[in-house]
Amino acid sequence: MADLALHSVEKTFGALKVIKGIDLDIRNGEFIVFVGPSGCGKSTLLRMIAGLENVSGGTVEIGGKVMNNTPAPQRGIAMVFQSYALYPHMSVRENMSFGLELSKTPKAKIQERVDIAAGILQLEPYLDRSPRELSGGQRQRVAIGRAIVREPEVFLFDEPLSNLDAALRGQTRVEIARLHARLGTTMIYVTHDQVEAMTLADRIVVLNGGEVAQIGTPLELYRNPANAFVAGFIGGQQ
């Protein structure tokens, strides 16, 4: 149902072509990781999938339907950003409820979904607190909770752990893996951290200069990098 396909997707900003024709088929439930150097187009690609940015060429398809002109809230996609973008004047529960209130979800349903998400993320003790009282790792869990309550068919993560210290990064990475195992939802995860990519991904998409350098399982890329660039990124032999 949520199979996701990109066909010849392009993006230009003025005279600058930053995504140069990307083809990608993602199976329902797959954990896909985009890696590549800063500025190679990872965030732009995610934002086009989410509907936060128009595509300049090609198609984004979800469940066999072209989504190019479908507004973001109707795509069944939730995105978690590096900056948690929580509302400081709202409690954790209110932060997690806000999007559902906008979409007129019944109050009882909102409460139920927030409670479930808080359970998954071990946020129950913090529901009535302000985000200001939470640690960086807890705030990022609230941001993930806000995505979970929407029950999306696809989760997009844009470098969600890069503001956390090393220990918390490892811990939150394990939680994201657990979340994927539990929900079985398609996830696309952007990182420039090789360990995150190798441990989380079913398949890794290596991007370079707005193009796909290679797609494969972590083991495939490690054993058979297509070129020196991929080998450099993945740490395999060339």
Distance of closest approach, residue 101 Cβ to Mg ion, in angstroms: 29
Q: Which residue in 225, 201, 202, 198 sits closest to 214, CA to CA?
A: 225
Residue keyed to tokens 């797959």:
30
b/e map 51-64, b = 16+ CB within 10 Å: bebebeebebbbee
Residue 76: contacted member of Mg ion, ligand ADP, none (CB under 5 to 8 Å, by partner type): none
CA nearest 31: which of 143, 192, 176? 176
Q: Which is nearer to ligand ADP, 41 or 152 (CB)?
A: 41
Chosen from ligand ADP, Mg ion, none, partner binding at 44 (C-beta under 5 to 8 Å by type): ligand ADP
Angle CA(101)–CA(103)–CA(109) in degrees, nearest 5? Answer: 60
The answer to whether residue 185 forms part of the interface with Mg ion (CB under 5 A) is: no
Least separation in angstroms between CB 225 and Mg ion: 23
Alpha carbon distance 104, 63 (integer Å): 25
**Closest approach of ligand ADP to the CB of residue 106, in Å:** 37
How many residues contact Mg ion, by CB under 5 A?
Answer: 1
Residues of this chain, 20-59, that bind Mg ion according to CB under 5 A: 43
The 10 Å Cβ neighbour count of residue 16 is 8
Interior/surface letters 176-185, b for 16+ CB within 10 angstroms, e for the rest: beebbeeeeb
Query: Which does residue 41 bind out of ligand ADP, Mg ion, none, counting CB within 5 to 8 angstroms by kind?
Result: ligand ADP
Longest dimension (CA), the chain: 56
Quick one: what does residue 38 bind among Mg ion, ligand ADP, none, with the CB cut-off 5 to 8 Å set by partner type? ligand ADP
Q: Is 160 among the residues that bind ligand ADP (CB under 6 A)?
A: no
Residue nearest to Mg ion (CB): 43
7-46: which residues touch ligand ADP (CB under 6 A)?
A: 13, 18, 36, 38-44
Give me the 58-97 binding string for ligand ADP, x by CB under 6 A, dash otherwise. Answer: ----------------------------------------
The smaller minimum CB distance to ligand ADP, of residues 38 and 103, is found at 38
Closest to ligand ADP by CB, 114 vs 205, is: 205
Two tokens, residue 101: 């209130």
Tell me which residue of 194, 184, 195, 95 sits closest to 138, measured CA to CA: 95
Which helix or strand (DSSP H or E) is residue 79 part of? strand 77-80
Interacting residues with ligand ADP (CB under 6 A): 13, 18, 36, 38-44
Q: Where along the sequence are the contacts to Mg ion (CB under 5 A)? A: 43
